[in-house]
Amino acid sequence: MLDSDSNSQTEKDSSNDHRHGYCMPFPRGDALRVFRRADNTLTCPICPGTRHWWRILNEVKDHILGMAKSMPLRGEHKMKWSCHCVMAQNEGWMV
């Protein structure tokens, strides 16, 4: 990040990005999977704004399948819907 006042560069801690609402890149294609964090919670990389993290795999599975099968989401946010479908397929939850 370039600081316009001093023309110097500063670094951001990417592990802290979710706290600031920054858009974080997530894997695509075959690498798109559910994230298991160091504290053993599970997160959806497509929905970083989700306030809670899941502790049970079936809870995150329900979220991902719900989003992948959502017709309103398919119409309004096709990319987000498509990414949830890819992740469900990668995890083996949807054929």
Q: DSSP string of 39-95?
A: TS-EE-TT-TT-S--BSSHHHHHHHHHHHHT-HHHHHH-HHHHHHHHHHHHHTTS--
Given a contact cutoff of 8 angstroms between Cβ atoms, the answer to whether 70 and 52 are in contact is no
Assess if residue 3 is contained within a domain: no
Q: Rounded to two decimals, what is the model's pTM?
A: 0.65
Assess if residue 59 is contained within a domain: yes
Assess if residue 61 is contained within a domain: yes
**pLDDT tens-digit profile, the chain (95 residues):** 444 444 444 444 455 444 444 455 667 777 888 888 888 888 888 887 766 688 999 999 999 999 999 988 888 888 889 999 999 999 999 87
- What gap in Å lies between CA 18 and CA 34, rounded to an integer? 16
Assess if residue 69 is contained within a domain: yes
Domain count, the chain: 1
Range of the domain at 85: 24-90
